[in-house]
A and B are shown apart, each in its own frame.
Chain A
Amino acid sequence: DQQVKQNSPSLSVQEGRISILNCDYTNSMFDYFLWYKKYPAEGPTFLISISSIKDKNEDGRFTVFLNKSAKHLSLHIVPSQPGDSAVYFCAASIQGAQKLVFGQGTRLTINP
């Protein structure tokens, strides 16, 4: 039972443009969402999070949007840079719980 889904295994974007990564979830109990970024041969690193009491959270070039009614969140990267090329994982949890549920990841490639 895949509770968190990233339906696009890969995404290619031109440098300077906007990258939009999508994530859907099925468990309506989830109320805390995170994005992690992973480079090859490294562990995932935390990027940005959002609580279900908000619908948007911004940190520099990164913005996460949450649509609770659609059970959908997205990560926007503007402008995209070559260093953003990585695998991005969406994750969800119930606040106060002990485990994160991860999506399968989306490989983002930024082309010069």
Chain B
Amino acid sequence: DSGVTQTPKHLITATGQRVTLRCSPRSGDLSVYWYQQSLDQGLQFLIQYYNGEERAKGNILERFSAQQFPDLHSELNLSSLELGDSALYFCASSGQGTTNSPLHFGNGTRLTVT
């Protein structure tokens, strides 16, 4: 158990809809990362927050947004969903704001857009 909790585990929705994925980091970790894994692809970095502030941005679409709340949990919001957004979405946390300390991943949310 990594200590990182992601909900829900599975999500099925229709094109055009909006969903929210939630992540609770390990106790004491200030940094939260979001990654997307599409079929047979590696994990693509989306965005990172550190102690409530956006720290780094990757290949995140404008239809996607995220935030980290004062209690350090994070939410990833995906809107105007398209079939191609179907993927596994992973959240990871670390104590530091850099990747020098290994990331601890949650078990992911599997999003299916129909």
Q: Could you list which residues of chain A lie within 8 angstroms of chain B, going by C-beta atoms? A: 4, 6, 9, 32, 34, 36, 41-46, 49, 89, 91, 93, 95-105
Total of A-B residue pairs, C-beta within 8 Å: 64
Contact B42 A49 (CB under 8 A): no
Contact B99 A97 (CB under 8 A): yes
Q: Could you list which residues of chain B lie within 8 angstroms of chain A, going by C-beta atoms? A: 2, 4, 33, 35, 40-45, 48, 55-56, 58, 90, 92, 97-100, 102-108
Tell me, in angstroms, the Cα distance from A105 to B44 when the chains sit together: 12
Which 9 pairs from chain A and chain B are nearest by CB? A43-B105, A98-B56, A46-B102, A102-B42, A102-B43, A99-B45, A104-B42, A93-B99, A44-B105
A97 / chain B contacts, CB cutoff of 8 Å: 56, 98-99
Which residue of the partner chain B has the closest CB to A104? B42
Using known A-B contacts A104-B40, A104-B41, determine if residue A98 contacts B104 with beta carbons closer than 8 Å.
Answer: no
A71 CB, nearest partner CB in chain B, Å: 17
B90 / chain A contacts, CB cutoff of 8 Å: 43-44
The secondary-structure label for the interface of chain B is: loop
Tell me, in angstroms, the Cα distance from A96 to B55 when the chains sit together: 12
Tell me, in angstroms, the Cα distance from A72 to B97 when the chains sit together: 27
Tell me, in angstroms, the Cα distance from A9 to B90 when the chains sit together: 21
